[in-house]
Amino acid sequence: MPNNTTLEQDDAPTMPEHGENFADILSQYEHSHTHKPEAGGQGFTGTVVAVSPEQVFVDIGHKIEGVMPVAEFKDASGTVSVRVGDQFPVSIKGRNEEGYYDLSKVRVERPKDWTSLEAAFGEKRSIAGVVSGVVKGGLSVDVGVRAFMPASRSGAKDVPEMEKLVGQEITCRIIKLDVADEDVVVDRRAVLEEEEAVARQKLFTDLQEGAVMHGTVRSLTEYGAFVDIGGVDGLLHVADISWGHINKPADVLSVGQELDVKILKVDPAKRRIGLGLKQLQPHPWEQVGEKFKTGDRVRGTVTRVTDFGAFVELEPGVEGLIHLSEMSWSKKARKPSDVVKPGDSVEAVVLHVSPGERRISLGLKQALGDPWADAQQKYPVGGVIEGPVVSLTKFGAFVQIAEGVEGMIHVGDITAEKRINHPQDVLRAGQTVRAQILEVDTERRRIRLGMKQLQPTSIDEYIAEHKEGDVVTGRIADVSGGRAKVELGEGIQVPCKVAGAEAGQAEEKAAQSQTDVSSLSSMLSAKWKGGAGSGQRAGKREPARAGQIRSFRIVKMDAGGKKIEIELAG
């Protein structure tokens, strides 16, 4: 058979067509390749003469030395385990571009005859062979006889990679043997997969928890990143990427990125490796006690909102909790989401720090200032406020005066027009009302309000219709101790000073005279608007006595205090 055959364009490696057998393909396309290895498959004992960062140089007794990748001598931690003077068996795979022998530690015998092939096939034993050329559908391999290796079982990804195998010694396994037709088919891919599995298992065994490995990010998911650490993949969970909060791995990592990771857990049985990146950095809580003190004002970002509060990231890996009760001075906040949401930047006050428990308590409302601090000055007694009714109880209504400040209107201070049994008889939640401040207790954080105090009364109307100096008519209701009570209108009684003599005479005659109240009321009603002159005789001033209708002069009026001062006008 000719040693060299030039392949035409349509001779690109393809899988055999239906009806063709491998013997026919080999008969048609078999050829010898010019890149045959020297002493291909022959075993030697090599001695290490030098070690560089990339290669190990080995003396095999020839004029030219052999080389091997230094990676073949690294353990799981990356330490090179070979030194000058070490000896081990090797075989020649071929020559590299620099002329050195390309060596392998694989020592597999090459069958010498059909009997050896039958034994290897029966025992499913790996054998050595040399790739002699590219043929249709795969590769021609010299295993003592000419064998065919399908492209799909070569372990190569594409045609260029298959062409690189020509001239190399490989390890393969016979998957079909027909002595009569001299048809031999071999498989390299199965051997490679087994070798990879063994190497992976050895790597799993050699890996130590706590060791630091250099790896490459191979893929990213929502829950983590898979990192190649020298032939095996480990999972870097999103929670172990950073001490700080991150939403997804893609925010901080990228495929192909090289990084150092720490082995957190190895499970050889399940072939799982847990990796950590943040564990290579100091834990942020180690300095918390020095960085954050009670009373400090801090700023952070809300990361999570729960039913009981919100977590705020103060720095990567350090979160504080704002409890619902510390979010607002107002009682309107029923749940944390009413006040904050994830992503909000907030300012808070440090309430408590416990580095040992890794807890920081924060207050949001404290950063806003206590609205009760100056309530005495802001809301003086007698002042008038306006605000919405926030809640109703059986005994009264609560009104919001300002953010975080509420006042209570007792049921008895809601209206003077009628007696009510429940505030909801006249008020509803959300209704805006005006009320007068009756009492302020800052220690107990209470303000008492009254609505009825602002409702117009008879005396309010009387004061609005008169002015100081007016002479008005009134009925003396009682005289005692130099003072008289004078009724200026229905429900309006004011004090009036009377002269001593008049008071004495009035007291003497009070016992002797019984006044018809109903007739006096009718007389008073007729004369209240009649002006002065009633109740006195011409030319002579009568002493003041109960029941008299007299003229009085308004000396002073106080609308706020609802007070009127008068004196006898005649």
Q: Per-residue pLDDT for 4 more than 60?
A: no
Position 2 scores a pLDDT of: 37
Residue 264 lies in a domain: yes
3-state SS assignment for residue 551: strand
Q: What is the DSSP string of 122-190?
A: HHT-EEEEEEEEEETTEEEEESSSEEEEEGGGS--SSHHHHHTTTT-EEEEEEEEEETTTTEEEEESHH
Of 174 and 246, the structure prediction assigns the larger pLDDT to: 174
Number of separate helices (H) and strands (E) present in the chain: 10, 30
Which residues lie across from 355 on neighbouring strands?
Answer: none
How many percent of the chain have pLDDT more than 70?
82
Q: Residue 534 contacts by C-beta under 8 Å, 6 or more apart in sequence?
A: 473, 523, 527, 549, 550, 551
What's the mean pLDDT in 514-539? 47
* DSSP state at residue 300: E
Q: Is the confidence at residue 513, as pLDDT, over 50?
A: no
Task: Please tell me the predicted confidence (pLDDT) of residue 489.
Answer: 84
Q: Are residues 136 and 73 in the same domain?
A: no
* Angle at 38 (CA atoms; ends 37, 40), nearest 5 degrees: 60
- Side-chain-side CA neighbours of residue 295 (13 Å): 0
| pTM score of the predicted model | 0.42
Q: What is the pLDDT of residues 167-191, one digit of tens each?
A: 888 889 999 998 878 889 999 999 8
Q: Are 143 and 128 in contact (CB under 8 A)?
A: yes
pLDDT band at 312 (very low <50, low <70, confident <90, very high): very high
Could you tell me if 335 and 288 lie in one domain?
Answer: yes
User: Pick from 280, 310, 328: which residue ends a domain?
Assistant: 280
What burial class does residue 329 get, using C-beta atoms within 10 Å of its C-beta: 0-12 exposed, 13-18 middle, 19+ buried? buried
Asked if the model's pLDDT at residue 531 lies above 50, the reply is no
Top-confidence residue, 423 or 96: 423
CATH number, domain with residue 358: 2.40.50.140
**pLDDT at residue number 507:** 46
Q: Give me the amino acid identity at 100.
A: Y
pLDDT digits (tens, 9 = 90+) for 424-453: 888 998 899 999 989 998 888 899 999 888
Amino acid at 374: D
pLDDT of residue 538: 44
pLDDT digits (tens, 9 = 90+) for 365-417: 888 878 888 888 888 988 898 999 988 998 899 998 888 888 999 988 888 76
pLDDT computed for residue 17 by the predictor: 45
Choose between 71 and 529: higher pLDDT. 71
Which residue shows structure tokens 């857990």?
265
pLDDT at 88 over 80: yes
Q: Output the pLDDT for position 94.
A: 67
- Can you give the pLDDT at residue 186? 93
Least confident interval from 5-14, 111-120, 457-466, 492-501: 5-14
pLDDT at 541: 63
Judge whether 262 and 227 are in contact, CB under 8 Å.
no
Residues in the chain, how many? 570
Residues 476 and 528 in one domain: yes
Residue 231 and residue 334 in one domain: no
Both 17 and 160 in a single domain?
A: yes
Residue 71 has pLDDT above 90, yes or no: no
Number of domains in the chain: 6
Q: Please tell me whether residues 514 and 439 are part of one structural domain.
A: no
Q: Provide the pLDDT for residue 309.
A: 92
**Dist. CA 98–CA 230, nearest whole Å:** 27
In the chain, pLDDT over 90 holds for what percent of residues?
22
- Model pLDDT for residues 338-362, shown as the tens digit of each residue: 889 999 999 999 999 988 888 999 9
Rounded Cα distance, 311 and 4, in Å: 75
Residue 24: which H helix or E strand, with range? helix 22-29
Closest CA relative to residue 133, chosen from 41, 25, 20? 25
Domain that holds residue 50: 43-104
Write the pLDDT tens digit of every residue in 22-50: 445 444 444 333 333 344 445 578 899 99
The dihedral through the CA atoms of 340, 345, 349, 350 has a sign that is: positive
3-state secondary structure of 117: helix
3 state SS for 441-498: ECCCCEEEEECHHHCCCHHHHHHHHCCCCCEEEEEEEEEECCEEEEEEECCEEEEEEC
As a whole number of angstroms, the distance between CA 396 and CA 544 comes to 46
**Which has more pLDDT, 253 or 195?**
253
- 351 and 294 within one domain: yes
Average pLDDT, the chain: 80
Would the pLDDT of 555 be above 80? Answer: yes
Q: Is residue 426 part of a domain?
A: yes
Task: Please indicate, yes or no, whether residues 273 and 141 belong to a single structural domain of this protein.
Answer: no
Q: Is residue 3 part of a domain?
A: no
